[in-house]
């Protein structure tokens, strides 16, 4: 069964959500992200998706103390993204208790460094993130569209032992209008061996089941939980299936 990954995005130490990655749309849901993490324990999830939005802006992790607290208090597995650009930052993130680190823009800007990390560590400790705009990957907090096509990008990093890929359709993120199921279907047809994590717009249990049927490994859910747009009893049933 598909894994459910509740999302905790952090700005100024608070749990927030954005729409289409726009920092000006910030909405605070919990002043203490630990409260959100503890609520997810009740759902039966084993892993959460944490993004350090301050770190993404500053190109270095900022909120690792929050991550450490969540890890020590809940024991949840954590996949983390936001500002991991250097060997030192990577070490700090793993020392904070992160189980999987998400590498996005750096995989476009400095692929050799990321490929080195994959070769020197357990490749399954890395999730290669692809934020997609009309088939091309965007970087720098979605502010810049690269000339790299999604399917070429996946093929390249698969050749370096990456298995986990997180794909976000920017146009869908935070809009509560459904995810890019057509795009995910294409990815799974082209690369059935990858562990694809669907992100952006997931807003119903029916959609989650469709993502499961097409072979997605996991689905990230954020605003649909915080806004009460998804049936939590049904979600809990899926998690505990």
Q: Single out the catalytic residue among 9, 54, 169, 212.
A: 9
Does the active-site annotation cover 152?
no
* Continuous segment of H or E residues that includes residue 6: strand 3-11
Does the active-site annotation cover 131?
yes
SS3 of residue 42 by DSSP: coil
Residue 126 CB contacts under 8 Å (≥ 6 apart), including other chains: 100, 101, 102, 103, 114, 117, 118, 162, 164
Q: Single out the catalytic residue among 52, 54, 131, 212.
A: 131
Q: In which residue are the tokens 């000339």 written?
A: 147
User: H helices within 45-133, ranges in order?
Assistant: 53-58, 64-74, 87-95, 105-109, 111-120
Residue 178 φ/ψ, nearest 5 degrees: 95, 155
Residues with catalytic roles: 9, 131
């Amino acid at each position: 069964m598909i894994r459910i990954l509740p999302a905790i995005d952090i700005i100024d130490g608070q749990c927030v959500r954005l729409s289409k990655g726009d920092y000006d749309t910030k909405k605070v849901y919990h002043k203490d992200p630990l409260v959100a993490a503890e609520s997810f324990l009740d759902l039966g999830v084993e892993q959460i998706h944490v993004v350090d939005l301050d770190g993404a802006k500053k190109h270095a992790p900022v909120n690792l103390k929050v991550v450490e607290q969540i890890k020590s208090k809940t024991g949840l597995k954590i996949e983390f993204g936001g500002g991991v650009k250097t060997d030192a930052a990577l070490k700090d993130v793993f020392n904070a208790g992160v189980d999987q680190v998400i590498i996005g823009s750096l995989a476009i800007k400095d692929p050799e460094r990321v490929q080195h990390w994959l070769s020197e560590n357990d490749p399954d400790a890395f999730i290669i993130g692809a934020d997609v705009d009309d088939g091309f990957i965007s970087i720098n907090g979605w502010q810049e569209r690269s000339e790299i096509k999604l399917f070429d990008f996946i093929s390249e990093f698969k050749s370096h032992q990456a298995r986990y890929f997180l794909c976000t359709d920017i146009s869908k993120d935070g809009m509560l209008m459904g995810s890019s199921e057509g795009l995910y279907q294409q990815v799974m047809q082209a690369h059935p061996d990858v562990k694809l994590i669907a992100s952006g717009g997931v807003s119903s249990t029916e959609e989650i089941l469709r993502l499961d049927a097409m072979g997605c490994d996991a689905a990230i859910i954020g605003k649909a939980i915080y806004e009460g747009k998804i049936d939590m009893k049904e979600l809990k049933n899926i998690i505990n299936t």
